[in-house]
Amino acid sequence: MESAVIDYSKDGHGFTQVVRGSTSGSSKDNWISFFAPNEKQVCVLDLNTVKTYCADYGSALPPYGGIDYVLDSKGVDRLVASVYVILVAGILVSIR
């Protein structure tokens, strides 16, 4: 059964689409990662607290090409209290 936890189009993020990719999964402690391709944001959602953390990837150098999926660490890094998200994408190459 599916249910909506957050409506990212109405909660202040203004996302028009969220994508997880075909190989993403959730962590053992209920974190899931996703990206918003139109807004160029990669995010992770803590389902326990329903809090979202995002980063902009639109200004990355070199620029990203097509994004395939995101991966999140399988738990919190207790030393630095962080969850890591990996954005798996190609690099946009320009040949002149």
State pLDDT tens for residues 56-68: 988 876 667 778 8
88 Cβ contact list (under 8 Å, min separation 6): 21, 67, 68, 69, 70, 71
- At 24 the pLDDT is 58
Counting Cβ atoms within 10 Å, is residue 45 exposed (0-12), middle (13-18) or buried (19+)?
Answer: buried
d(CA 20, CA 44): 10
Read off the pTM.
0.79
DSSP class per residue in 34-53: EEETTTTEEEEEETTTTEEE
Cα 89 to Cα 65: distance, rounded to the nearest angstrom = 6
pLDDT at 22 over 80: no
